Amino acid sequence: MKRTYKVSPKKIGLRTWSKQFEKISTETISRYRYYNNGEWGIYLSPPATFMVYGMRELKRLKFDNSFEALRMWGFVFNETERLFRAKQIGKKVIATMGDLGVVPILVMSFPECVPFYPECLWWTPFFKESTELLDTASKLGVPEATCFSRAVVAAFHKKAYFPKPDLIIASTGASCDDYSCVMQTVEDMGYEVFWAEIPYRKSPEFFLNKPKPQILEKTKEGFVYPKILEEHLIREYKRIWQALFKLTGVNNPHRLVDTIKKINTLRRLVMGIKRMNEEAPIAPIPALELMVIEFGNLYGYADFDEWLEIVEMIYHLVKDRVAKGIGVLKKDAIPIAWVTPSADPYLLNLVEECGCRVVTTEYVINQALVQIEEDIEPLRALARAFINASLIGSTEERIKKIKEKIVKKQVKGVLITNMLGASHCAMETRLIEKLLSDVPILSIDVPAPFGITQQIKTRLEAFVEAMR
Amino acid sequence: MKDILTPRERFGMLVIDEKPDRCPVIPLITSHAATVAGIKLKRYYTNGERMAKAQITAFEIYQHDAISIFSEVGLIAEAMGSEFNYPDDDLPVLKKPALLNGLHDKIIIPNPRKSKRLPVYLEAIKYAYRSVGDIVPILAYIPAPFTTGMHLLPPEKFLIETLKRPDGIKIILDTILDVTKEFCFEVINAGALPIIVDPLASGSVISPAIYKDVAMIYEQKLIDYLHRFDFDVILHICGDTSPLLEYFLQTSADLISLDRVNMLKALDKLSHKIRLIGNFDTTTLLLSNPEEIHKTAGMMVEQLKFARKGYIVSTGCEVPIKTPRENVMAFIKAGKEKGWYWV
């Protein structure tokens, strides 16, 4: 991939990005398009464009100054438009909710079907520094005590953030229970929901001394699970496949094989970026961009092929920076692990400003990071990949994984960002704090939009001091 | 009907060719905001915070769909050296154009963050954006190079020079274009969407030929600059632009705001490519009564709301400064009622 200009890596603000943007030729701008549409598919815009259209937090965020990052942000912020355009040109837009990682692979295996995750809208109130969506959700019966993903209810009500989905596939069971309530509310609003069940991954001890012995399996990531769990998931995926077949009239299992290959390519690239970031002496890319890349694994921000190209471009950028020993943070930045994603992107900036560097993450999307087996029956492969999910098992297992990362990556501290109202945070955070007692831990309750206070900054500074 | 979307969400849907809950209703409430807020006009156009606060007050009262940062079109010419009088209760009046004696006179290349009243606008944008930018679009009206040119030279002289010394005028307009782009850059980074206004390129002022050969060229260049940012560009030209309708397609504007034009003709000629804005008669708005305004505006909206690329209910020109509040409210009410789309 050819880049249009070279800059020394650093984090820059919105205005500097706008200045830098002036150096990019109009020809280059028109080269990058989603759905390959030249009329409305152009997305290479600086952060200022999206700020003018209401993303107020962009005014205070700092971004990677590379052309690659510009392309990434332009593409990601364009998603609402992209979903509406998808519908306008006859694609089927499928809302996949709650499973975070597998259902979109099934969706993408059907022609002209575009999956998206409504729950990713939980970032929108923060990017907009606005409580509009959250307040609307409250008025619609989802109270303040629910996690920020309640913004989704307002989005379904307003119909301005994505088009009416052709199909809504909602996964419940061992998923986030707040979000299950959100999904139920969406159904109560009159949307037809296709429910799928995610089973809980019981620990092996559960099966000891049971009258009916279970066959236990182990994922490549080391999670032990009963075989029946795999079979259950396959049954659920078959049901979803049938629903998609009914919607599209197409039934071509070979496409699933191809989609898995493509997904694995993306996942390899992302894991490669993560690995380089972990091992490089200087952080080659900021934590914020890294989080966006990691979450792109879920569904490719509604144009998978374009996203794959973007990630490939970023992979080469990171590789180049690592080879040259250059990066975006100071060499003495303190390596930390980040547990649970922050609803407020500004926190990722702030942590780096305080002198930290995120070397490893546990964003509860482990299932979207692992490789999917290509040499077995595809639905089984999907089931086995999903079984690695962080949220479907015990906290103990999750902590074990975090511990492994801490030791391996030599992190000096752990930052946990809690979502107010999200029950898994309420249940898990204290346990994580307790069981990871050998490193400094800071847990922050992410406040409502534009709510980060001096108090949080002071706590972060104290956390940094404790690690030094 | 009760609004479902915020003005920002509504505008966002319009520009991606989706039907929002209803048509956006954006009467051109500019200096009229000073009347609503009860402040002297001079305070409005010389103090950014005052301008923003007046606009926000008007927004809170009227509940229309955009904040309009604007007072008059001499702004850039003033920063380039033209002199104005500043009456307490009226808008600035051109006193001495910078190029009074001809094209060889000196013009100033302004600093958009410091020169004359340009920072007033930027301050107003920042204040408004910070206060209500999450729910309502902030629009900043930017005079197009042709209109600014008419404030750098005595207007009649500018028009004569356009014919006699087109190369000299071109140099001036190129300079103005650069200055305007730089100002747009600041406006964007402050948080507003630039609207290009070119009232002196109106068919009431110039011939279609001059429009096509001079004014339009610079509108296009400015629009191209804004399109690089992927903005949806609004072009507003007041007065009678009937003879210019066919050229508007060539400007590549995404939305066109029209004044004294037969909108059904505009609907026919433009609406497949450009979103329409307009065009309630501002004299009627000033002098008529709320009932009549409500009725007439309602009829206008019903005729135009199904324009193919979308429609914004608006006035043909700025809402007159002293327009009674009840009249503006009646207009907005009609726009909201009759402009409803969703079932």
CB distance A116 to A162 below 8 Å = yes
pLDDT at position A5: 61
Distance in Å, alpha carbon of A157 to nearest chain B alpha carbon: 8
Find chain B residues with C-beta within 8 A of A48's C-beta: 188-189, 229
- Chain B interface, best mutation among A40, A52, A55, A130, by max B CB count within 10 A: A52
B9 touches chain A (CB under 8 A): yes
Taking the domains of chain A in order of start, what are their residue ranges? 87-251, 255-467
Find chain A residues with C-beta within 8 A of B192's C-beta: 52
Distance in Å, alpha carbon of A259 to nearest chain B alpha carbon: 30
Find chain B residues with C-beta within 8 A of A130's C-beta: 134-135
CA distance A463 to A315: 31
B305 touches chain A (CB under 8 A): no
Q: What count of other Cβ atoms lies within 10 Å of the Cβ of residue A371?
A: 15
pLDDT at position A370: 95
Are B228 and A29 an interchain contact pair (Cβ–Cβ within 8 Å)? yes
CA distance B208 to B203: 7
Distance in Å, alpha carbon of A366 to nearest chain B alpha carbon: 34
Residue B198 lies in a domain: yes
Helices B166-190 and B118-132, axial angle in degrees (round to 10):
30
Question: Domain span at residue B105?
Answer: 7-338
Please list, in sequence order, all residues whose beta carbon lies within 8 angstroms of the beta carbon of residue A376, skipping any fewer than 6 positions away: A384
B residues 131-160 near A, CB within 8 Å?
133-135, 137-138
Are A130 and B134 an interchain contact pair (Cβ–Cβ within 8 Å)? yes
Residue B313 belongs to domain with CATH number? 3.20.20.210
Residue B101 lies in a domain: yes
Find chain A residues with C-beta within 8 A of B13's C-beta: 84, 160
pLDDT at position A394: 86
CA distance A435 to A403: 9
Are A49 and B229 an interchain contact pair (Cβ–Cβ within 8 Å)? yes
Mean per-residue pLDDT of chain B: 97
pLDDT at position A434: 83
Find chain A residues with C-beta within 8 A of B341's C-beta: none
CATH no., domain A255-467? 3.40.50.11900
Number of domains observed in the structure of chain B: 1
B223 touches chain A (CB under 8 A): no
Collapsing DSSP to helix, strand or coil, A236 comes out as: helix
Find chain A residues with C-beta within 8 A of B185's C-beta: 18, 22
Six-digit token pair at B313?
A: 């209910």
| Among chain A residues, CA nearest to B9 | A160
| Among chain B residues, CA nearest to A55 | B134
pLDDT at position A435: 83
Q: Residue B16 is nearest to which of A18, A49, A84, comparing CB atoms?
A: A84
Helices A423-435 and A177-188, axial angle in degrees (round to 10):
170
Residue B252 lies in a domain: yes
pLDDT-flagged residues of chain A (< 50)? 1-2
Helices A395-409 and A423-435, axial angle in degrees (round to 10):
50
Residue B219 lies in a domain: yes
Indicate if the pLDDT at residue B319 is higher than 70. Answer: yes
CA distance B227 to B231: 5
Residue B2 lies in a domain: no
Residue B142 lies in a domain: yes
Beta partners for B280? B315
Six-digit token pair at A23?
A: 């150096």
Instruction: Read off φ and ψ for residue A280, nearest 5 degrees.
Output: -70, 140
Residue B343 lies in a domain: no
CA distance A358 to A335: 6
Residue B118 lies in a domain: yes
Fold of A87-251: Rossmann fold (3.40.50)
- Distance of alpha carbon A305 from its chain centroid, rounded? 17
- The reported pTM is 0.96
Kind plus residue range of the DSSP H or E element containing A294: helix A287-296
Are A132 and B12 an interchain contact pair (Cβ–Cβ within 8 Å)? no
| Among chain B residues, CA nearest to A42 | B230
Q: Residue A160 is nearest to which of B5, B129, B138, comparing CB atoms?
A: B5
Q: What does the DSSP 8-state code read for residue A372?
A: P
pLDDT at position A1: 43
Per-residue pLDDT tens over the stretch A201-243: 887 777 777 777 788 899 988 888 999 999 999 999 999 999 9
Distance in Å, alpha carbon of B292 to nearest chain A alpha carbon: 33
Six-digit token pair at A237?
A: 């995926």
Are B134 and A42 an interchain contact pair (Cβ–Cβ within 8 Å)? no
CB distance A413 to A334 below 8 Å = yes
CA distance A299 to A227: 27
Six-digit token pair at B122?
A: 């930027």
